């Protein structure tokens, strides 16, 4: 039977990578699917992962009717066995209900991937509706880590390295990557960081803790002694 599955976690835990892998696994078995996304870090109409994978996708807008998008294609003779929905936290609750209807009425598998809660630890409306309706809610196996090394459970928004807990719920950016930062003028530069609960409560980011992040350009295969 078809299922509505919600893969939910923090930023930086491999959700988009898993979304693309899920699509690949189904396609190689002869199934046909559609990819949807909203507000991807790389721009419009694309699913991108931080390890460099990306595929074109259909951009979900505020008024997109996902039931009509899929059922219309099927009525026109296009095979749609499943849909993969990335950045699902940004979908409207009504769109989540449309996805559930695809599962129940058309037998289309729905695999959704999204952040559970925002930087204020409040559930995104889309994520909340997925949790309420999904047949299964799963946590990706790859764990994001706080700067202290503990499992990251919360998303933090920072402005010039200092954590903030007020502001618009949706400000698209990335985790600790300069190309993903947002220069918002006199307010400062907005970035995101994943933290364990302890350091989120304390509002202690890597910058304010004086923790130096490793250089992502360093080849980890090179002996430490050779990098000194």
Report the catalytic residues.
87
* Residue partners of 110: CB distance under 8 A and separation at least 6: 2, 3, 4, 5, 82, 83, 85, 99, 100, 102, 103
Neighbours of 176 (CB within 10 A): 20
Task: Report which of 145, 160, 147, 146 is spatially closest to residue 213, judged by C-alpha positions.
Answer: 147
Rounded distance between C-alpha atoms, residue 51 and residue 57, angstroms: 18
Determine contact, residues 143/13, Cβ cutoff 8 Å. Answer: yes
Ordered strands of the 162-164 beta sheet: 162-164, 154-159, 189-195, 182-183
Torsion, CA 150, CA 176, CA 10, CA 24, rounded to 10: -120
Determine contact, residues 62/112, Cβ cutoff 8 Å. Answer: no
Task: Report which of 156, 207, 158 is spatially closest to residue 184, judged by C-alpha positions.
Answer: 158
């Amino acid at each position: 039977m078809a299922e509505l599955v919600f893969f939910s976690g923090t930023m930086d835990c491999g959700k988009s990578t898993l979304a693309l892998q899920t699509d690949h696994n189904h396609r190689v078995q002869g199934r046909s699917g559609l990819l949807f996304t909203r507000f991807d870090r790389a721009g419009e109409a694309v699913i991108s992962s931080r390890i460099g994978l990306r595929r074109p996708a259909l951009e979900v807008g505020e008024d997109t009717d996902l039931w009509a998008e899929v059922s219309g294609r099927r009525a026109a003779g296009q095979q749609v066995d499943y849909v993969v929905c990335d950045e699902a936290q940004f979908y409207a609750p009504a769109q989540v209900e449309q996805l559930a209807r695809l599962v129940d009425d058309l037998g289309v598998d729905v695999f959704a991937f999204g952040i559970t809660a925002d930087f204020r630890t409040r559930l995104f409306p889309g994520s909340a509706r997925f949790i309420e309706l999904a047949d299964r809610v799963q946590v990706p196996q790859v764990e994001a880590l706080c700067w202290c090394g503990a499992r990251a459970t919360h998303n933090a928004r920072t402005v010039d390295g200092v954590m903030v807990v007020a502001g618009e719920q949706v400000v698209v950016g990335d985790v600790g990557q300069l190309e993903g930062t947002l220069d918002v003028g006199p307010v400062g530069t907005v970035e995101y960081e994943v933290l364990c609960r302890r350091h989120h409560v304390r509002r202690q980011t890597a910058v304010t803790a004086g923790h130096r992040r490793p250089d992502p350009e360093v080849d980890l295969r090179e002996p430490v002694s050779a990098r000194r």
